[in-house]
Structure 1
Amino acid sequence: MSDRIPVIAVNRVSENAKKTLDIVRKFVEEKCIPADPIFSAQIGEGAQRWDHHPSVIDDLKVEARKLGLWNMFLAKGHYKESPGFSNLEYGLMAEWLGRSRTASEAVNCAAPDTGNMEVLAKYGNEAQKQQWLKPLMDGVIRSAFLMTEPDVASSDATNIQLSMKRDGNDWVLNGNKWWSSGAGDPRCKIYITMGKSDPTNPDPYKQQSVILVPADTPGITINRMLTVYGYDDAPHGHGHITFKNVRVPASNMVLGPGRGFEIIQGRLGPGRIHHAMRSIGAAEQALDWMLMRINDPKKTPFGKQLKEHGVILEWVAKSRIEIDAARLIVLNAAIKIDELGAKGALKEIAEAKVLVPQAALNVIDRAIQSFGGAGVSQDTPLAYSWAGIRTLRLADGPDEVHLQQMGRNENKRGAAVTATINKQKAASDQLFAQYRVAREVPGPKPRL
């Protein structure tokens, strides 16, 4: 496996992680990818898609735990519950997980549970950890993260409107949420919910709180499941949920009132990297499918195999370059998180969040094109993969928000670089003057 690890990462990956990478690769290739069609078939059709989960997942989980593949995303040095891998090491594993629809859940490393477990591990009190973190880490329940709302521009989280009002020993919640990923799963038992608890606070970043809402609390209505380019993502789904006078014990508040922004920023940082890591794997899988297609001797448009058409080989080359470049961006961000924490790696996280889905989409789109009509059908995993990764340009903050922030931060160097360039120009003007003098005055040239 070490020959598959980029040079920048080799010396940062432990021997234990290298061995685990081998196990992950084998598990994904030999168990998870073959199980993907079984997963789809077991979901079924119609309303029954939401009343159960495919049993093949349970079988894969049993095997994964026997192999020691469980909760690898909890980074060492950041969580006492960590199995001992760094963000970098998990990144290399997540690339393999991204090749399969079932792999991440099979090893208990699937979103949104990963981010929710990080929230509970980092910010939850002991009672909250015992009630919710432990069963999540054991893989016996699932969870949802409720932040986005249908009636406001949720890309600016200060717009969140779900009302949270204190009433005695409870908080009372009213409002709407959507894109509540995981809320359709019958195993989903807890909603980690962001709302506005102090709307008059002069600091707009201290008006919000995060609270733990049991999924069976009276007053909660799941109105519908949203589709992603026509895919319903059953059994997990993306719920549009209404809260009407939902009473939640005050003890379910995470960290404290007004700490919501702090919590979601701590949650979304590593989560963005997890998405990017898996996207690299999806892109690699798409490239493999494209290579299979263009080498198919039965596919001979205009009397040639696809690989004999120059533009196709150009697609392959561009895909290889884009995947490798994207991987380095991701691993660099993972290294920075390991060294400085998520707050110290904001630029690198944003770079990966923006660049990687775009690169993966380019690769997947070329693979789809090489398959023709089959590429947009259910006969390959490509269409579903493209739809899922396209959402990443919106999830966890749209690209434009990250680009604006990155541009603003980069532009802070404007005054300093202007001064440096002007100083260099002045020195150059002085040199030009000396050279002119040297040409006009007889005798030896001055030493410059």
Structure 2
Amino acid sequence: MIRALIVAATLVVAGPALAAVEIQEVESPGGITAWLVEEPSIPFVALELRFQGGAALDPEGKRGVTNLMMGLLEEGAGELDARAFAAARESLAASFEFDAYDDSVSISARFLTENRDEAVALLREALIAPRFDADAIERVRAQVLSIIRSDAQDPNAIAAQTFDGLVFGDHPYGASRDGTLDSVAALTRDDIVAAHETVLNRANIFVGAAGDITPEELAQLLDALLGDLPQGAPLEVTDAPYLLEGGKTIVPFDTPQSVAFFGHRGIKRDAPDFFAAFIANEIFGGRGLQSRLSTEVREKRGLTYGIGTFLAELDGAPLLLGQSATENARMGEAIDVIKAEWARVAAEGFTEEEVAEAKTYLTGAYPLRFDGNGPIAGILVGMQMEGLPIDYIETRNDKVNAVTVADVNRVAAGLYDPEALHFVVVGRPEGIEPSN
């Protein structure tokens, strides 16, 4: 889950007004909508497709099927087997990436203007007519199983997955989107075909494009690429369960350094106080070595090389999460300091200087996010999925600057709850008693 959450969090940083970025809303003759930033100076187009739903749509007992299905989309389509498909893509100097997340699947395409029609036709085959050949299924299945085995030996992955399981139980969020060794081994071709039909549909698609393409050309491209997908039904998002109380869970693992993953409930992205919470987190644990947690845990006490927190929201579950690592003998001390700082933030809040510095950083960081057609197309899709208005880039800084110190401290008092804070520790920590 962590990877997806971190990616989602970066969108919020990508916000101040960019005079050169003009977003156009494009609707195809077939009714497909996309957001476009036209940039004709380089003969290159970046296209981002996101389908809402993702691995959270995995049927019971079929965890990992969406992830496996997405990994197979470039393993042959139409009349082309995996080798021929790869050769065709390389001959066009095009790149396609297919990824699965908890709440979405993504397709990233990059192609030259001169090869646009051929690249789009090839990508269409992957989306509409994937082959799911038996040899390809077994090859990609083996790759996924290797990742699952590797994660089972990675303390960071173990900590995050244990936390997810404790929070969400039997909900799909409670298990890795890669699936388990047993669930992936049992998946059939019919399961993969069913996942393809469920996930890839027009009702839940979001499109961002940037580069050398006009609105009229993009409109035609959308229907050519996506027009034959099933219409589907809009996804109904419901809140996921939150089953975890404050405390500590220990997962024994032979390593000289324990990993701690910790957190509790967060705040929804569309909440009126979201920006105040976002600024609070930036001060508390979001800015690397400059954060309060880093100062207290790393600099003053030398308990860790790094510590951080982030606001994260799966479609049905806002969370406030953090992660750190320290030697086994000092993990208990590190937890005590983290809990004490959590309580101090709730009781005392932040200073005017801290809030001002965080706002300056947040409103000045945007140029790093708009550094090419690919990132821009991704930002456009993220904005749509978050339900943000098309003028968000122009107004985002105003929203950050409108937050007062009083706002930040009021929200921090309600958001940071040391009694609800739960730590999952993977390692051989000394002097820590589990509470579960």
TM-score by structure 1 length? Answer: 0.23
Higher relative contact order (CA 8 A, sep 6+): 2
Higher helix share: 1
TM-score by structure 2 length? Answer: 0.24
Larger radius of gyration: 1
Higher strand share: 2
